[in-house]
Structure 1
Amino acid sequence: MAITLTESAAKHVARSLDRRGKGVGLRLGVRTSGCSGLAYKLEYADDVRPEDLSFESHGVKVLVDPKSLQFLDGTELDFAREGLNEGFKFNNPNVRGECGCGESFNI
């Protein structure tokens, strides 16, 4: 079981944590939402919770709660710039379908 970051995503997270002046890594999870059922949760983590599962990729810590891991196992998180837009892209091998707006997915 693993969650990984591309080098681009790891550099972006490391720069963001440096600018914030605090934080131990990135917290990733899922929540029930949208028309397809699940949506990603992504935030900077200021601490490690007792239930967190921890993965490290390119020197950046990724924290995931056990319930979310079943939906995220094998996911690679990328950070991409396309024209004027930039953001995280989830390469999740578990996804079977996504809603038309791209906000939610199902497994």
Structure 2
Amino acid sequence: MINLTDSAVNALKSAISSSQHPAGGLRVMIEAGGCNGFKYKMGLAEEPKPDDTVIECSGLKVFVDNKSQEHLVGTTIDFVVAPENSGFTFHNPNATANCSCGKSFS
């Protein structure tokens, strides 16, 4: 369902190891809003919620709520290091349009 690049795995492992709160995995969600109708939301989470699907990627757990699953099928999450704007990017084959910021889609 969701793939993580090696760069994303390394960034997440670093974030988990330096987190002040227990982190059992990465929560990825889709919410209404953003420039194009939907926006990505992600963050470290201690454990999955009852309605989450847990996906194992390179030894990391990714928690995806049931409402977001259909929008995320086949998505690859990458971590890009750039002089101006480093961060996570989403390559989503289900998106028909993307915002220039890369954080929202339709």
Check whether TM > 0.5.
Answer: yes
User: Using the alignment, how far apart are the partners of 1:80 and 1:64 within structure 2?
Assistant: 22
Q: Residues 11 and 68 from structure 1, CA distance in 2 versus in 1: closer, same or farther, beyond 3 angstroms? A: same
User: Using the alignment, how far apart are the partners of 2:47 and 2:101 within structure 1?
Assistant: 33
User: Using the alignment, how far apart are the partners of 1:35 and 1:86 within structure 2?
Assistant: 20
User: Does the 8 Å contact 1:55/1:62 carry over to 2?
Assistant: yes
Q: Aligned residues, how many?
A: 105
Q: Residues 7 and 100 from structure 1, CA distance in 2 versus in 1: closer, same or farther, beyond 3 angstroms? A: closer
Taking every aligned residue pair, what percent have the same amino acid on both sides? 39
Q: Residues 79 and 101 from structure 1, CA distance in 2 versus in 1: closer, same or farther, beyond 3 angstroms? A: closer
Q: TM-score, normalised by structure 2?
A: 0.91
User: Using the alignment, how far apart are the partners of 1:103 and 1:23 within structure 2?
Assistant: 23
Q: Which ranges of structure 2 fall in alignment gaps of 5 or more residues?
A: none
User: Using the alignment, how far apart are the partners of 2:69 and 2:50 within structure 1?
Assistant: 15
What is residue 10 of structure 1 aligned with on the other side?
Answer: 9
User: Using the alignment, how far apart are the partners of 1:101 and 1:53 within structure 2?
Assistant: 27
Output aligned runs, 1:1-107, within 5 Å. Answer: 2-21=1-20, 22-106=22-106
Task: Provide, for residues 34-68 of structure 1, a one-character-per-residue CA deviation record: whole Å limited to 9, x for no partner.
Answer: 23110001111111111110111111111100110
1:84 Cα deviation after fit: 4.0
Structure 1 counterpart of 2:98, one-letter code: E
User: Using the alignment, how far apart are the partners of 1:52 and 1:104 within structure 2?
Assistant: 22
Q: Residues 96 and 54 from structure 1, CA distance in 2 versus in 1: closer, same or farther, beyond 3 angstroms? A: same
Q: TM-score, normalised by structure 1?
A: 0.90
